Amino acid sequence: MKNIFEAVELNNLHLKNRLVRSATWEGIAAQDGSIDDDTYEIYRELAKGGVGAIITGFTSVATDDFYFGGMMRLSDNKLIPQYKKIPQYKKLVEMIHAENCAAISQLALGAFYENSVEVGENDLSTENVREVIKMFVDAAIRAELCGFDGVQIHAAHFFFLSRFISPKINRRSDEFGGSTEARAKILLDILRGIKKSAPSLHVTIKINSSDFVSGGLDEGESLKICKMLEAAGIDSIEVSGNGTSVGGIRAGVNEGYFADFAARLADEVQVPVICVGGWRSRQVMENFLNQTQGELLSLSRPLVREPDFPKKLAADKNCVSKCVSCNACYRTPAHRCIFGRRA
């Protein structure tokens, strides 16, 4: 029987339990990606709260990616140890590690810009696409230098990579467009590049189970891409989807809204599957673990409301999250709970 508080060994990664903080964008970094005490405090609370791993919020791989504000960045050497007297991201990792918690950087791209103008996925030259691939690989190298245990390729939620692999968006006629295999090539090239250049990292990916739009990526094609990623050496897969942060979640009633696809995927791949989406109670989470081949559970909003929710779950198996799924935290600075972080 699996329980959420047993240690887990993954490729290049040791976790003290099966709970992962799913990447949550805070939106408070400076324009160049610099972080300050507010960011450190958020991650200090999360690490002390008892999760086995923290995936840091949306970290852009591009210096000129202004898809939205306040993004952390691993797009420039100036924020990493060799080039800065006070290496901010190394300090962040060490703060997380101090609580016996693994640190994973979510590498992402909001959009590709040229001369400050956004260039659509179909308008990029083939060389531009290769430039994007290099951006992700270079950012992973920087993450490794900062001491991160792993990186997550963000291919969900209709950000750049998610749009690029979607048949609704990608109408390219070169080697990166058309068939499922061609649209997925960008992900496979990023993965192989990271594996070659930063071999100590655990490499995971966040991918939509479905785009939930007509003509978009559906479950069948997502499953096919996940199998390609497995064959190319991905270490784990986090299942998500467009339309994330569903409202009205209640403990024991409608938890785990991506669980069905995650269970199907876990049956068909040998790499660990991480399932996010509306977890609120230990019983339901452990039911998922023991009724499927899923290995890990990731949480976002419950940890916004209660950073120490894992410790509460460990102390009381009947504890349930106080998060009411109102999503009002997304409209506050640093995405803080309107009821108070420790309410």
Q: How far apart are CA 244 and CA 258, in angstroms?
A: 9
Q: pLDDT value at position 329?
A: 85
Q: How far apart are CA 181 and CA 175, in angstroms?
A: 9
Cα distance between the two ends of the chain: 33
Low-confidence ranges of the chain (pLDDT < 70): 84-86, 341-343
Q: pLDDT value at position 343?
A: 38
Q: What is the 3-state secondary structure (H, E, C) of the chain?
A: CCCCCCCEEECCEEECCCEEECCCCCCCCCCCCCCCHHHHHHHHHHHHCCCCEEEEEEEECCCCCCCCCCCEECCCHHHCHHHCCCCHHHHHHHHHHCCCCEEEEEEECCCEEECCEEECCCCCCHHHHHHHHHHHHHHHHHHHHHCCCEEEEEECCCCHHHHHHCCCCCCCCCCCCCCHHHHHHHHHHHHHHHHHHCCCCEEEEEEECCCCCCCCCCHHHHHHHHHHHHHHCCCEEEEECCCCCCCCCCCCCCCCCCHHHHHHHHHHCCCCEEEECCCCEHHHHHHHHHHCCCCEEEECHHHHHCCCHHHHHHHCCCCECCCCCCCHHHHCHHHCCCCCCCC
Q: How far apart are CA 92 and CA 101, in angstroms?
A: 12
Superfamily of domain 8-335: Aldolase class I (3.20.20.70)
**pLDDT tens, 87-130?**
899 999 999 999 999 999 999 999 999 999 999 999 999 999 99
Torsion, Cα 309 313 316 318, to 10 degrees, reads 100
